[in-house]
Structure 1
């Protein structure tokens, strides 16, 4: 029975991804994500520089080299280096004015995530322009703060562990704790986006946990696998020339967006419709069923 149920759930998941055009939607999210990379990095540097030395960001991002495709890591590293070499006076000006400007520019990606999640959860957008932008700006800022916490942990965990344990044990424990903390932060980030990015209804946190965990595991695994493929078998530079790094970055973002939305699809399948669902849910559901009738 479990095998039959798992098969039915898998077939239903495939049907839902086709009905929601998940591949096409993921491509749109990846495009807006790419446009938001540099503004997000600028906001990251400005916020991080309020407390720490901005130059440390480049070294800490190098810790993610194992899960990022080389071209993606190269783009991030180069851009971060360019930003952090700005003189201190410019960075202060960036703190005063640049953070808001960078957040507004980076907000395009979060809006794309919000629209994509509305499609997955069959929600009709009922928030006005101001409400949508306030929510997505808050989520953009929160996402950057989560990334900053992750970078602080990359530095802080080895220091604490080395102080408490011997050098041999410290290396092992540091690696395990760093990865566990990183995975936990990604799961928490996905939970936050699943919970607040789409329009109502608001489901409980626990309802979004399975999809968040599965999406995190799949995303990290896919990132490592894609990085290995690009490093050993990919010939994007030969095919696309100077645009090779851009293509790799877009494709990596597409993979991440698809997996993220797949986790949302899994959550949507698990959540039973209740009386507090928005009217838009039923309208969209009936319209979808009329366009994609179930096969006998």
Structure 2
């Protein structure tokens, strides 16, 4: 029903509804739970990715340079430490160990995020337990493969292209084009990954207008929050002074919580937009004809 107590302006109405829904759906609590699973996911996943980079003998300098643009220095230093150590000590056994736990903990994180998405869309618990876990497993494996391929392309792709330019006469402009477009490609891959998660959380196939706005908003908000928090952590905060050696862990925890919040916020945004569209339709139907 159209609530006359809400602002008439559509943007203000949207903002008020977002605040109400986030409070009613306990988004802060859901974000904390998702951040908890992400924390347990990140270290075995780092072991797997860094072991993969070590086995492929890939250079991590370019990737760390890109990450330092929008992540706090403490987070980048932590990533660099893991990547450098395992890259210098490649081990297939370590990669297998990381892969096993990189499937279990991401499955828990994926299931937590899907549950939050279903709450945002006002859906009940999944009807089939087995079907739900199959969805979670398939998405988790797909996500791991996608991230591994994306990181490989970002670190190895440029060298491979210039090698083909020199030895196989690939047009040089194609190599330059890939160097320019590889990061937008990574952004497109991230969009598709989050879009797939939002879609798999549904019981039926949703139109694009019910999924795409929230996905775009989540990715944009994540990049904005990450950059702002990175700037704050690097220039104004003194975590290392206050917390000593665990300062980097505190930074990681806060960043994970912000990341989880933005991922859930996109689903809540879609829910608000769907609700507002229904209200406009009902208002149009209820207008008396003259």
TM-score range for the pair, normalised by the shorter chain length: 0.7 to 0.9
Residues 68 and 224, structure 1, Cα contact 8 Å, conserved in 2: yes
What is the TM-score of this pair, normalised by structure 2?
0.78
Which structure 2 segments of 5+ residues have no match?
A: 1-6, 166-170, 277-290
Answer yes or no: is 1:135 the counterpart of 2:135. Answer: yes
Structure 1 residue 221, shift from structure 2 partner: 1.6
Structure 1 residue 159, shift from structure 2 partner: 6.3
Residues 67 and 227, structure 1, Cα contact 8 Å, conserved in 2: yes
Answer yes or no: is 1:35 the counterpart of 2:37. Answer: no
5 Å matches for 1:198-213?
A: 198=201, 200-213=203-216
SS state at 1:28 partner: helix
Residues 143 and 189, structure 1, Cα contact 8 Å, conserved in 2: yes
Change (3 A) 1:133 1:44: farther
Alignment root-mean-square deviation, CA: 3.0
SS state at 2:211 partner: helix
Match of 1:164 in 2: 172
Residues 43 and 103, structure 1, Cα contact 8 Å, conserved in 2: no
Residues 211 and 270, structure 2, Cα contact 8 Å, conserved in 1: yes
CA distance in 2, matches of 1:239, 1:95: 35
Instruction: List per-residue Cα deviations over 1:37-72 (Å, max 9, x = no partner).
Output: 0122234356x46xx844426335313221111111
CA distance in 2, matches of 1:20, 1:208: 19
Give the number of the structure whose alpha-carbon radius of gyration is greater: 2
Change (3 A) 1:60 1:104: farther
Structure 1 residue 246, shift from structure 2 partner: 0.9
- Give the paired residue count: 261
Structure 1 residue 207, shift from structure 2 partner: 2.4
Answer yes or no: is 1:107 the counterpart of 2:107. Answer: yes
Match of 1:223 in 2: 226
Match of 1:150 in 2: 150
What is the TM-score of this pair, normalised by structure 1?
0.76
